[in-house]
Structure 1
Amino acid sequence: MTADIWLGLISGTSMDGIDAVLVSFLPERIEIHKTLSHHYDPTLRQQLLRLSQNQGTPDDVGAIDQAVGKTFAEAACRVINGSGLNRDRIRAIGSHGQTIRHQPNGDQNFSLQIGDPNVIAERTGIQTVADFRRRDMAAGGQGAPMVPAFHRAWFGDEAEDRCIVNIGGITNITWLPAGDASAASGFDTGPGNALLDAWCLDQTGRPFDDNGDWARQGQIDQGLLEDMLTDAYFALPAPKSTGKERFNLEWIQTYRRRHPDTSPEDVQRTLLALTVETLNRQLPAGTPKTLYICGGGAQNQFLMECLRSNISAPIDTTDTLGLAPDWVEAVAFAWLARQTINGQPGNLPSVTGANSPKILGGIWPA
């Protein structure tokens, strides 16, 4: 019998574009049929960055929601057309959408992802599953991180303690104790690439620091680093999650004003050290474990060198586990769509803090 094919779409906190993947979930392995990275139009990306900082009207939100939905649909069509697969074989699209605001605490907690799934379903002719976070939040959870349930399902091991570390705009970890699926846990440790990208763009005009080459030119400003480490988020207990609402260019500038003599490249090096140190300080205590890195951070050679130099546990990437680091999150949202279509929960209450496992998202028919 031919395995079902699912399409995962995600744009993360880096807001650089959309990852699209066509994938089948076989009993013992994941089969990737086709992948694609689809970049945002620069004007749309700037609009998204402004929205994430509350710089936009309701009209702006509505118009950009439509524009992002069309861009997600375009990414889906491109990956399908490039695969040579018959569109009828694709059971569903799982669309994360683009987060423009994530406020998981307070009386009116919410998480807002745009990219209208009606547009995606209409333009692709494929049923679409989206809006994954809000049901978890309605059940008392943070609505994030969402991928640990997928990590547990596919990366958990009977013999090895594992920690899956996703370094996107924000860094999140999933702790998978050997042989005990019920003990899985995870949370956002803090910034991953978000601050590095924001400072690089502001100072150089480049959207990211390729391979960490600019950071490599600088030195850690220990006073600045220790000051940044006083941010209250890092000491919060789990469950916790965060985003660009907190860790953004203004956050950097607040600390830079207190350390005005730090050179731009030293700030970049210090921000990279912040990503490493906040991860290191928040790793679960106990049995030594292997850290498997995924997300864009796995492509930052200098960041990977610094992780290996400062963290005592062995460090590898999810390539070793059979899934390339660049595609873990897109595959995860294909898997979440599969969970929803099959009437299975997609959250992990031990991670998000929800009161129970929940079937996530809504379904937009073809």
Structure 2
Amino acid sequence: MSELYLGIMSGTSADGIDLALVDFSNNSTKLVAHDYQPYSDQLHNEITELYTPSANEIDRAFSLDVKLARIFADAVNQFLAKHQLNAEDIRAIGNHGQTIRHRPIGNSITDQAFTIQLTCNHTLAALTKIEVIGQFRQKDIAFGGQGAPLVPAFHQFLCQQTQHDVVIVNIGGIANLSYLPSVVSKQQVTGFDTGPGNCLLDAWYQQHNVGRFDQNGQWASQGRSDPKLVEQLLQDPYFGQASPKSTGREYFNLAWLENQLALYNRANTAQKLTPCDVQACLSELTAISIANAIKALTVHAKVYICGGGDNNQHLRKDLEKQLSGFEITTINALGVNSDAIEAMAFAWLAYAYNKKIYGNMPSVTGASQSLVLGCLYSP
């Protein structure tokens, strides 16, 4: 039977779909092909408008659930045609879906933990004629976990028997890390969301400019970071919270930022920040929150960066400044495509489902036990 799995990932930045075809033959991991399909501005807005409660959100969410499935199916079928493959060549699709709400255990808004990833997996399976494995996060939450992050188990699969501490940092809309201690260490693998990655940078940029993101951090580089604002932002309780922990754009969003700026302006009436000054502060916030999380885990490690934030040169410089003394490079140095790694992780989770491999790590999510994650949807 084929060991080709197709992973589909759309992150909290809601900028598009990543597809990664992975060959897991002989218990190895080989990226066969990777494609990216951007979302239209209209679709991007339809998704991000659901990040916060609003009128008719249930109708809009479940209409979008099916709409995204059709868009994902079109992307899969185009991918197969482009790479001269048939549905029968693919063992299964591992579909993360599009997160619109993440309320893990310990959230301050609801008394029950839950997480919602849109994309009707039944529709996706029917339109591609391929088995789909999805809804990976819910079972972990049912067993007392955060349901996130799930990628550390895949990162450990990639980096088995490391002779030195390794930290893999994914800077998406939300930034998360995987800490993989050396084989001689007595520490456990751990991982968590460190806080905002690109989400605040993107949202603030969109409010003041045309476009979805600050290309290479050029706008942030024109501003001057204010230590007082950065320190205030870092006082948010999330940054001091012990792991396991996870968060999302329903927490770190423009409303959060506007509240922080209002507090800053009341305390610093003589200080006027330009919009690009604020962007420079947000870049430092992302860098410092990531760096603080790493330094709390290890004093020396190889740090591999992946995700969209890896392309932000200004953010990379901020991060390198905060992590002086650490060896920092891109995940490409491990022979893994930085843009494909998250989609690869969900291809692996589909593979893990079929092979009955545990897909979560209690030391990461806080679940009461290790679990095979996901649900099967047949065409």
For Structure 1 versus Structure 2, the TM-score category normalised by the shorter chain is over 0.9
- 1:185-221 CA distances to partner (integer Å, 9 max, x unpaired)? 1111100000000001111021001111111111101
**Which segment drifts farther, 134-143 or 316-325?**
316-325
Q: Structure 2 vs 1, CA of residues 205 and 35 (structure 1 numbering), >3 Å: closer, same or farther? A: same
Alpha-carbon shift at residue 71 of structure 1 (Å): 1.4
Q: Does the CA-based 8 Å contact 2:310-2:330 persist in structure 1?
A: yes
Aligned to 2:48: 49
**Could you tell me how far apart the structure 2 residues matched to 1:31 and 1:279 are?**
29
1:192 aligned onto 2:197: yes
Contact 1:6 1:90 in 2 (8 A): yes
Q: Using a 3 Å threshold, how does the CA distance of structure 1 residues 3 and 304 change in structure 2: closer, same or farther?
A: farther
Q: 1:196 touches 1:268 (CA, 8 Å); kept in 2?
A: yes
Task: Give 1:3 deviation, angstroms.
Answer: 5.8
Q: Distance in 2 between matches of 1:176 and 1:334?
A: 21
- Distance in 1 separating the partners of 2:344 and 2:212: 25
Task: Output the TM-score relative to the length of structure 1.
Answer: 0.96
User: Sequence identity of aligned pairs in percent?
Assistant: 41
Alignment of 1:78-227 (within 5 A): 78-106=78-106, 107-179=111-183, 183-227=188-232
Q: Look up the SS of the partner of 2:88 in the other structure.
A: helix
Compute the TM-score of the two structures, normalised by the length of structure 2. Answer: 0.93
Q: Determine helix, strand or coil for the equivalent of 1:326.
A: coil
How far apart, CA to CA, are the structure 2 residues paired with 1:18 and 1:53?
A: 22
> What are the Cα deviations for residues 87-145 of structure 1, in whole angstroms up to 9, with x where unaligned?
21100000000000000034310000011001110110000001000000000000000
**Is residue 335 from structure 1 mapped to residue 348 from structure 2 by the alignment?**
yes
| Residues 248-288 of structure 1, C-alpha deviations (whole Å, 9 max, x = no match) | 11111112223442100000000000000111111143441
Which residue in 2 is equivalent to 1:274? 285
Runs of 4 or more consecutive aligned structure 1 residues displaced over 3 Å after TM superposition: 26-29, 284-287
The one-letter code of the counterpart of 1:345 is Y
The Cα of 1:168 is off from its aligned counterpart by: 0.4
- In structure 2, the CA distance between the partners of 1:320 and 1:27, relative to structure 1 (3 Å rule), is farther
Aligned equivalents of 1:287 and 1:268: distance in 2? 29
Contact 1:156 1:181 in 2 (8 A): no
- Distance in 2 between residues matched to 1:47 and 1:263, nearest whole Å: 29
Which stretches in structure 2 are left out of the alignment for 5+ residues? 266-271
Question: For 1:208, what is the secondary structure of its paired residue?
Answer: coil
Match of 1:314 in 2: 327
Q: Give the SS at the match of 1:325.
A: coil
Preserved CA contact (<8 Å) 1:36 1:75: no
For these two proteins, the number of residue pairs brought into alignment is: 365
Confirm or deny: 8 A CA contact 2:2 2:90 kept in the other structure: no
The CA deviation string for residues 215-262 of structure 1, in whole angstroms up to 9 with x for no partner, is 111110111111111111000000000000110111111122234421
In 2, the alpha carbon distance for the partners of 1:331 and 1:99 equals 18
Q: Secondary structure at the match of 2:18?
A: strand
Q: Measure the CA separation in 1 of the matches of 2:300 and 2:59.
A: 51
Q: Distance in 2 between matches of 1:56 and 1:34?
A: 41
1:30 is matched with which residue? 29
- Flag the 1:358–1:56 CA change in 2: closer, same or farther, 3 A: farther
Look up the match of 1:244: 249
C-alpha RMSD over aligned residues: 1.6
1:288 aligns with 2:300: yes
Distance 1:127 1:28 in 2: 21
Within 1, Cα distance between the matches of 2:141 and 2:199?
Answer: 24
Shift of 1:23: 1.1
CA–CA distance in structure 1, aligned partners of residues 18 and 278 of structure 2: 29
Residues 332-361 of structure 1: CA deviation (Å, up to 9, x unaligned): 000000111222211111100001111111
Cα distance in 2 between the residues matched to 1:83 and 1:161: 37
Return closer, same or farther for 1:56/1:67 CA change in 2, 3 Å cut-off: farther
Query: How many angstroms apart in 2 are the aligned matches of 1:45 and 1:20?
Result: 18
Q: Secondary structure, in 3 states, of the residue corresponding to 2:13?
A: coil
CA distance in 2, matches of 1:242, 1:305: 25
